[in-house]
Amino acid sequence: MERQRKKLVLIGNGMAGMSVIEQVLKLTDQYEITVFGSEPYPNYNRIQLSYVLEGSKTIDDIILNPREWYEENGIALRTSTTVTKIDTINKKVYADGLEPAAYDALIIATGSKPFVLPIPGSDLAGVIGFRDIQDCEVMLDSAATYHKTAVIGGGLLGLEASKGLVQNGMDVTVVHLMDTLMERQLDKTASDMLKAELEAQGIKFRMNVKTSELINDGSGRVGGIRFENGETLEAQLVVMAAGIKPNTDVARASGIQTGRGIVVDDLLRTSAPDVYAVGECCEHRNVCYGLVAPLFEQATVLAKVLAGQDTQPYEGSSVATKLKISGVDVFSAGEFLEKPEHQVLTLCDSWKKTYKKILLQEGRIVGGILFGDVAHAQKLTKWVRTNAVLDEEIHRELFGGGGGCCGKENSMLSVASMDDSEIVCGCNGVTKGTIVSCIQSGCTTIDAIKMSTGATRSCGGCKPVVEQILKYVLGDNYDGVAAKKEGICGCTKLDRDEIIAAIREKGLTHVREVMHVLNWSNPEGCSKCRPAINYYLGMLLPEEYEDEPESRFVNERLNANIQKDGTFSVIPRMYGGVTSPEELRKIADIAEKYRVPMVKLTGGQRIDLLGVDKADLPKIWEELDMPSGYGYAKALRTVKTCVGSQFCRFGTQDSIGMGIALEKKFERLNMPAKFKMAVNGCPRNCAESGIKDLGIVGNDGGWELYIGGNGGTKLRKGDLLCKVKSDEELIAISGAFIQYYRENGKYGERTSEFVERVGLEEIENAVVKDAENRKLLVQRVEEALARLSDPWQAVLHDHTQRDQMYETIQIPAKVK
């Protein structure tokens, strides 16, 4: 008889709460776990939102645990769901639109909310905080429409938001009440250096001013700021970054003791039995922490409490701060403003733009600031936490001076001298001892250490120290190239090329066979590797391989894109953006029949039905009787066309005819990533061929082919691959490039990244100049095309198979 497991419920799907869950899973299997998250996303790295805003990372890049991870670990995930009340007597959790969830143990990890200045106009459109992905999306959308932005708050969050907005082309002014930036972490000298550096990067500042009102532009949107001194500042977007406050709403509504935050003891227990709190929402010994490292320290203690293991109590944290802005290195720990009892050591180099300041009290290090050179950030954190005595060795390491070791030797000595209990990864609370144990148990790459311990998974600042520990433990067995090489995921050390070579050499034909023969550390694989292997097998074995739907993402399995509220978008294909009155009537009738909330024209010249319930998907597809536009697939999405020579007086080529021909030829062909095309009938480029994966421009003499363009967050202009004179040449070279990309691209790698990695010259040689190789590429793509079927359309018309497929896929409940 199966053992009855206890019910563990987590309110809050953020980093602190999910860190508890991850550690509980490693310590015990006694719980059946349910997670409620008010956002529509799975757990993501909130401290990397600034990278998403500036465009160096995508939302997918910062997801820590994809939806498939929750499924694999038996966790019931309820996204877009806000818990409103806890019945602490009967141990039930209430959320709008759902049945009450019972618990034996409950964790509240609701995080914090942005502090909104209580001033007139704070409720205007265009006034937002900077705490989540939705805030990022609003800012990115605003950057495409508006120009002037004001960020209220010159602290850590405000400066990160400002840099991201400047990167998106906005005119940004930071409005700050004080005369010092990051006044809770920096002194005047470091602040002035930081301000000068950020001004050089395009950020403007209004210091020592108090905001009294946000000005309505007349339409209900913010148009500017009025200061207490009567001056004004124009702004069509205002970002409130003046602080945060713990989110205690559900605790207050449930009668749980709160102060500034949810009050907890040293074992993270609240005033209610079997209810715990962790993260930014809680208050421990009258302190609420807004930085990530203390939250992970709390999570480690709470995980052991829940697993019934002995643990040291949580006694508070020593905080350190690092600014996450590209090109600016700032670090602060402990005390930073000198007092009469302090001895102050400083080193300021105006030419190198570096500044070091160490504060001593009775000869012991109590705090410090590093600007421009933060190599000693980890060490300084340790010295502050342990109240280390400043001696000759530490002084020499911080400020230089003769006689000491340097370079590699110094690094190795530093690692050797670290205590096992010393925190290496402050973001995830990972100690040197944990990393050493991981290496001794067989982890010989940074990627393997990351997957096993979490070190380097968040901001990545500890990566050099992790590598030094790896060198130190492995000694002569350390292989620098192998150590830094990353597998396609944490389940394997093998990269894409090694996996493909092994599939060929060993004759592997199934996803599970690949994972078994190649010694996957996780025999079931994960949401990163299973789809990749599925793609590689299909690409290598077009004749023999049967696609595995269970190894595809949920969007592909459901033939539609999941939206943030749990509904779906349905996009039928319209070849070359061309439709007919009959198709339009059909779409309109279906939209009315199924009460589709929104019908929208997409940028790819198609019609999108938004807000469709999961239960209606098969019926809608059946009644549409149109091919899917594959808006969810790693395949050809759209072929955008201009009017071309059929109608336009400037058109020199039939762009519509060519676009339809290309789309019909290459639709359903699986590729490493989504693939977009455009065909223009003349160089006026109305269909935007310059920012497509494959862009085609017609002229009087024939066609020009451009590759590797991208119109997304990583904007890239396409490279001219070649010019051709005939339609036949165009189709052949297009097919050759697509097949070359299919065979050599990494799974998930867009052509913009692929072209930069491989090089335009190499692609040109393989696809254009080497006629024999081009012929073989065309032959292989034709073989793949000849065996294409559309399993998704077949499933949709097979009622039994269809219903089974839709029933087995669990989608988070949407907000009612």
Segment 317-369, tens digit of pLDDT: 877 777 766 567 888 988 888 889 999 999 988 888 889 999 999 999 999 99
The owner of tokens 């040293």 is: 266
Encode burial over 161-188: b for 16+ CB neighbours within 10 A, e otherwise.
Answer: bbbbbbbbebbbbbbbeeebbbbebbbe
Q: Are residues 675 and 709 in the same domain?
A: yes
Instruction: Specify whether 514 is located in the same domain as 615.
Output: no
Residues 194 and 230 in one domain: yes
Please tell me whether residues 168 and 262 are part of one structural domain. no
Helices (H), 630-686: 655-666
Whether 594 and 445 map to the same domain: the answer is no
652 in the same domain as 766: yes
- Residue 799 clears pLDDT 80, i.e. is over it: no
The model's pLDDT over 169-211, given as tens digits with 9 standing for 90+, comes to 899 999 999 999 999 889 999 999 999 999 988 999 999 999 9
Residue 1 lies inside a defined structural domain of this protein: no
* pLDDT at residue number 788: 76
Q: What's the predicted TM-score (pTM) here? A: 0.63
Euclidean distance between CA atoms 368 and 370, whole angstroms: 7
178 assigned to some structural domain? yes
Same domain, 256 and 226: no
Alpha carbon dihedral 408, 411, 415, 417, in 10-degree steps, equals: 110
Q: 96 in a domain, yes or no?
A: yes
* pLDDT reading at 389 higher than 50: yes
The answer to whether residues 565 and 460 belong to one domain is no
Confidence at residue 483, expressed as pLDDT on a 0 to 100 scale: 63
Out of 195-209, 398-412, 611-625, 663-677, which region has the weakest mean confidence (pLDDT)? 398-412
Residues 391 and 443 in one domain: yes
Give the pLDDT confidence of 263-276 residue by residue, as tens digits. 999 999 999 999 99
Please report whether residue 561 resides in a domain. yes
Structural domain ending residue among the three candidates 307, 328, 349: 307
In a domain, 431, yes or no: yes
Contact 164, 48 (CB under 8 A): no
Same domain, 222 and 283: no
Number of domains into which the chain is organized: 5
Domain that holds residue 538: 496-552
Query: 703, 653 in Cβ contact below 8 A?
Result: yes
Q: In what order do the strands lie in the sheet with 6-11?
A: 76-78, 31-36, 6-11, 105-108, 275-277
- 460-489 tens-digit pLDDT: 667 778 888 888 888 888 777 666 667 788
Decide which of 484, 506, 530 is a domain's last residue: 484
Task: Please give the Cα distance from 777 to 738 (Å, whole number).
Answer: 9
pLDDT recorded at residue 365? 93
Claim to verify: residue 691 and residue 765 sit in the same structural domain: yes
Examine residue 812 and state whether it is found in any structural domain, yes or no: no
pLDDT score, position 485: 67
Residues 613 and 742 in one domain: yes
Lowest mean pLDDT among 295-309, 705-719, 726-740, 782-796: 782-796
805 inside domain: no
- The helix-helix angle for 751-758 and 727-744 (nearest 10°) equals 80
How many alpha carbons fall within 13 Å on the CB side of residue 65? Answer: 19
